[in-house]
Every structure is written in C-alpha cells, then in structure tokens.
Structure 1
Amino acid sequence: MKTKVIGALALAGSMAFSVAAVANETISVVGSSSVTPLMEVFGETYSQAHSNVFVEVQGPGSSAGVRAATDGSADLGMSSRNLKDSEKSDDLKEIVVARDGIAVVVNNKNPITDLSKEDVTKIYKGEITNWNQVGGEDKPIVVVTRDTASGTRGAFEDIMSLKKKINDITVSAISQRAQVTSGNGQLKTTVANNPFAIGYISLGTVDDSLKALSIDGHVPSVAAIKSGEYQVQRPFLVLYKTSKINPTTQSFLDWTLTTEAQKIVSAKGYIAVN
C-alpha cells in the first residue's frame, strides 16, 4: 500500500510539473474579433507542431487589443485597423499578418447588388433613409454598425469618410439611429434576419446567409483587393512590446509570416502578405 501511495504522489507531482510546464508556454493573444478566427487557426496549427505551446485567443475588439499589448496584460494584441497616433509608441511594434476586405452586406432578399461609396456614406450618416433612394424598394433602411471598440468600425469610418469634428474633437459621423452590434457574428445574424438591413463585416466571414454588395461596380474579392479595384480594405495587425516579448512568442510571430501560415490566410479567404 505504501508503495502505491508513493507512486500516486510521484505521478501527481509529475502531472503538476507537466501542467506548469505547459502553462509556461502559453501565449496570450487579445484583440480584434475579425482577426480572432484567423488567429485561432494559427494557434491550433502551430500547437500541432509545438505541443508544448498553447495559444490562447480572446476577441473583445481592436481597442482592447492595443491596450493589452501596450500595458503587457497580453503577450500579443490584435487590431483590424491602423493604429491611431495616440496609440503609437517606440516600444510598440506591429506586423501585418494578413489583409482583409470589409464587405458591405444586405439581406439575401434585398434586390440591390451595387452601391456607390458615396451612397454608403450617406446611408450611414442618415442622409439616405429609404431603399428607393438608391434604386430599391420603398422601405426604410435599417442601418447596422459595430460598437466603437471595433477595429472593423474604425477602418470602415476611415475608408467611408464617416468621421467629423466637434469642438476640434474627431468623432464618428455614423447616425445615432444605427443599431449597434458587438461582433461580426451578431451583425451577420441581424442583417440575415432583417430584409431591410445593411451592415459591414470582414470579407473572410461572408457566407450564404447574406449578400455582399459591389461598391462602385467592384465586387469584394481577393483579386479585386490585390489589384486595388476594391478599396474597402484594411490590415490585420499583431502588436507587441519589444521590451516584453519572449523567445516563444517571437518564434510564433515569425511563423505567422511563413509560407505555411500564409497559405492558411489564403485558404480562409483573406489576402496573404507574401
């Protein structure tokens, strides 16, 4: 019996040591909900070849990702928009792991297939409020947007000129009547369930549940983004502090730019960077 107890204790100690060792190789990644699906596949693929490394991914939004990388609460941050001047620092580095289009989407029952960039801007400002003003049915437009922490929203506002200044402070020009959703998934569901809704999501997450519109005659596609014809696009950034990065995290970062990782980018419908 004594031998069995000693053996059990030794096994328990070994297991505890093993778990601790694995925990020491955990890479925490926080940020954009648009980058999250790609980062999760990156992490799973990398862990298959590096069994002692676990990549933990959370997607509360780009602003949260920038803060997490800046204050060191996560090893890596994710952003689906360019950094604001106020967020930049000499110690905060960024790498582009992919590029992504932002698709303007409507319900599958909506007859509209194309809008001009100007039309989209006016719809989101609340200046165009009925589908018949852009060649559609005589129905009110239900504008759906993302929350202010969203990198997709930030990039969309920049591209579509949806910012304005009030008392020298830059603020969103998106109508306050717009419905606000917290992620790509919720926005997709909202638009898919409302025949009069319009929204915008990561091109890599578009599926048959809704319809992506062409903008100024250019269909959102990888080819159109690469050629520059479809200009509603943004970078997928991974952020880190040079003073805090460790060899394990650096090796994972280096891997995201390899041919193997970039094939995953393309397979998921995003634009590879090499």
Structure 2
Amino acid sequence: MSRAVGLPFVLFLFASLSAIAFPARAQDAERVRIHGSQTLGHALVPGLAEAWLRDIGYSDMRIRRPRPALTEIHASRDGQPLIVEIAGSDSAQGFTDLVEGQAQIAMMARRPNAAELDAGWQLGDLGSQDQEFVVALDGVAVVVNRRNPVVRLDFAQLRRLFSGQSRQWREFGGNQGEVRLHLDPGAGAVRDLMNDRVMLGTAFGEAQRHRNARELIAAVAADPLAIGLIPIGEHYGDGTKPVAIADGGRAIAPTRTEVLSEDYPLSRRLYLYGGQMMGALSRSFALYAMTRAGQRAVARSGHLAVTLVPGRERPVSAGPAEYRELVGGAVRLPLSLRFNFGGPGESGVAANVFDSRAVRDLDRLRSFMALPPNRGRRLLVVGFADASAGSTMAAMMMSNDRADLVAQELMSRGLRVEQARGMGTALPLAAALPGGARNPIAGDAGSRYRNERVEVWLL
C-alpha cells in the first residue's frame, strides 16, 4: 500500500471508529429517565436537573434535543458519564412508562387515577412521601379590566363565558356590553387546567389570540369588556384585576397565600412519582426537588415553588364571627394541611393520615419557626370538616380532631401552639357531595379532600 493511499485510509478508519465509539459511550452511560407531563418537561424539570447535577458535583454539561419534547442533559463526574432523559408528553404516558419500566420518574400534573393505580399496584405506595413529590404549583388567573364591576365568578359562569354561551356582561353583574374573550394559545397548562376543572368537554368560544400573557394583559387593560386567562404568577398590571373564583364554596382571589395553600380552586399540584425501588440517582433527584435549592430552581423556571414565605397581617372578613375573632391579629401561613382518608382501598394513598405535601409542610414549618424573626412565636391551628361528616356535631368533632392532630405534630417538633380549634363546616371551599363523593368539577381533588383541612396562623 502506498503512503499516499495509506494515510487517508488510516484517517478514515480512525474517524469511523471514533464515530462508533461515541454513541457506544452515550449508550453505555447511566440514564435517569424522567417521562410525562410536558408542563413539567418543558422548563421546570430541565432547570431542576441542571441545578441538581451541578450541586452533586457533575460538570461538562451539554444539552441535546434529539427530537421535539425530548431533552437530554449529558454530564460527567469522576470520568463517569450520566444522561438525564426528560421526555415530555402527558401525565398518562409518564405513568405508563413508569409502570412498564421505561422511566424511573413520572412527571404528572395530577394524581394517578383509579385505573392507573390498579395498573401500577406493583410500584408500591404512590401516596407516601417516599414516592410522591409535590414539586411545584401552578394555576390560572381570570383577569378583567379594572373598570369592570364583576369581582367574583363561579365555575358554571366561567364555563358559559369562555364557551361563548353567555355573551352579555349584565348576566354576571357587569356593565352593559358584549363579553370579549382573550386567550394565549401557547399557554397549554392554562388550557389543560381549564378543561379539567371548568370546561368539562365544552369547547372554548371565539376569542382574540395573543402571542403571550403580557400581550393578553395589555389587551384586557385597554378594553372594559374584556376577560382573559393567564398563568398564576404573571403581573396583572395597573389596568387589570383578578377575579375571585368559587367552586361551590366561597369565592377566593388568587393571592399568593390562597394559591400556595391550594384554597384557590384554579390551582393544582405538579408531581414527580417514583416506584418503591427507585435507583439511588433517581431518588437523589426527587429529594433534591424538595430542598430549598431545588425549589429555587423551580421558581426560576417560572412555576410557584412550594416554600414557606413570611405572610402579612390582613383583615379577615369571611367566615363566622367566632372565626374572625379567633384569627384577628394573626398572620395566615401559606399552607393548608390535608389528609389521606382510607389508604389504598379508597384513595390509593398512604396509610399516613397526612398527605405527602402535609408531611413535608410540617417539617418546613419547623424550619420556618427556627428563623430568628420567628423564634419564640406561637401558632394557632384551625381545623375544618366537610359536610359529608353527616351532622353539625360530627363535623365539629372531626374538625377539632384534625386540629388537635396537627397541634400534636407541631408540638412534637418543639413548636409552641397557643390554641387548636375546630370550626366544623365553616368556610367550605367546594360543594360537599353525599358520602364524600368526588366533585367532577374539582377534578382530582374531591370535595372532602379540599374542605377537610387545617390552617396554621402565626401569632
């Protein structure tokens, strides 16, 4: 073989072997596979994964997108490669992939339904804090022009408005004029939540479309007859205002406290789920999402982090006089502790009486009260029951029991509880259905689940 022919051949052979070796290395790299809801997969989980990799010592990060809705984050530590594979589709596909072993973590914008729980029985206790991770919250705000006199709407009214079935503001207590709808087609999470909670199969009516939420807000601010939908967390601006929303209970405005407490009816949890045999790296990622560093990454992605932030004292006008007097002068903390009911037979969740977020919120409360401004301060615990308890007396007893249970948990963590008190069925958030049945409008969260809760106030 001549030298002129041999050198190109050697170079060709080397390049061929390198091309084969690189995919083999990527193929051999350990993978953390995270599949499911595109709401989480678009920005939240990729941002969270990058922060996690940096914090546990990985470097040389490279982001690749082999196809739409698939993000791969390549990194290495001590010469060992790792790929975090984030495949966005929907919650149902993510859970299916978890059941079939195609993913170690499922991203879901809801809890698994009964059929999914049956299919995934082998995964373990998917309601426990070891397998269910509430990573963030999101929601929908309904905005109108600031000159519009309408201040509250219920789900049925929202459905009539956004389907175009009702076209006159005077039907809702507004001024004379035809309703003008505004939507952002790119806000998929907004559309999904509205479909699940409000529209219930009814199509949206004709609306003016905008490229983003800021353009929508500007259009509503310029039109006294406009109404629009924006993601929670967007700045309303001077010309618009949010509307309080009712789901069979009291109308609630989308303040930070009401959204973080999940009392606002157009808010929802965003979840990560893992099987009981999660690998070490997968579990490390899910647990990192629960830390303050992980929640800072969540906030940077544009979602609402599940953290305890200082509130401020504000007058309380809702509820019976007894309740208003009880909480007067106190500051509501941005959480509502909620419960599991009957374990796998009824709800497919953990035997622990607290749901997975409540378990972590109790620990967050301990850390929050350890901060210098809060040391030595006392807590007020207020419990509520659902009308499905059967009678006024039974509901009052249940609410007292729930309040006492939370007070005991707080005191066991070294916190000072001034008083624990039940308020029965006062201040319902959702319409109670016979026997604690699920409210179809409330989506994944049944009426009993939403109404049976415990508030914590700072004295």
CA distance in 2, matches of 1:69, 1:190: 39
Task: Say which of 226, 233, 240 aligns to 2:260.
Answer: 226
Cα distance change of structure 1 residues 11 and 222 upon mapping to structure 2, 3 Å threshold: farther
Q: Which runs of 5+ in 1 are unaligned?
A: 163-171
* 8 A contact 1:81–1:151 mirrored in 2: no
SS of match in other structure, 1:139: coil
* 8 A contact 1:100–1:236 mirrored in 2: yes
The match for 2:269 is: 235
Q: Which has the higher contact order (CA 8 A, sep 6+)?
A: 1
Shift of 1:179: 6.5
* 8 A contact 1:69–1:77 mirrored in 2: yes
Cα distance change of structure 1 residues 11 and 71 upon mapping to structure 2, 3 Å threshold: same
TM score, norm. by length of structure 1: 0.67
SS of match in other structure, 1:103: strand
CA distance in 2, matches of 1:207, 1:264: 20
What amino acid is aligned across from residue 114 of structure 1 in structure 2?
A: V
The match for 1:128 is: 166
CA distance in 1, matches of 2:213, 2:236: 11
> After superposition, what is the alpha-carbon deviation per residue over 1:117-170, rounded to whole angstroms, capped at 9, x for unaligned?
243244356553334433156224438699xxx77666545654x5xxxxxxxx
CA distance in 2, matches of 1:68, 1:6: 44
> After superposition, what is the alpha-carbon deviation per residue over 1:48-105, rounded to whole angstroms, capped at 9, x for unaligned?
2323333232333323323332333333221112222111132344522324141234
* 8 A contact 2:140–2:190 mirrored in 1: no
* 8 A contact 2:163–2:205 mirrored in 1: no
SS of match in other structure, 2:134: strand
What amino acid is aligned across from residue 66 of structure 1 in structure 2?
A: F
Shift of 1:110: 7.3
Q: Which runs of 5+ in 2 are unaligned?
A: 59-74, 77-81, 221-225, 246-250, 307-356, 361-459
The match for 1:257 is: 290
Q: Give matches, 1:63-74, under 5 Å.
A: 63-74=92-103
The match for 2:37 is: 32
Shift of 1:42: 0.6
Cα distance change of structure 1 residues 246 and 7 upon mapping to structure 2, 3 Å threshold: farther
CA distance in 1, matches of 2:98, 2:214: 30
State the percentage of identical aligned residues: 15
Shift of 1:41: 0.9
> After superposition, what is the alpha-carbon deviation per residue over 1:200-250, rounded to whole angstroms, capped at 9, x for unaligned?
64x25x35699672324643243222345423221111133446x433323
The match for 2:88 is: 59
Q: Give matches, 1:69-88, under 5 Å.
A: 69-88=98-117
Cα distance change of structure 1 residues 59 and 10 upon mapping to structure 2, 3 Å threshold: same
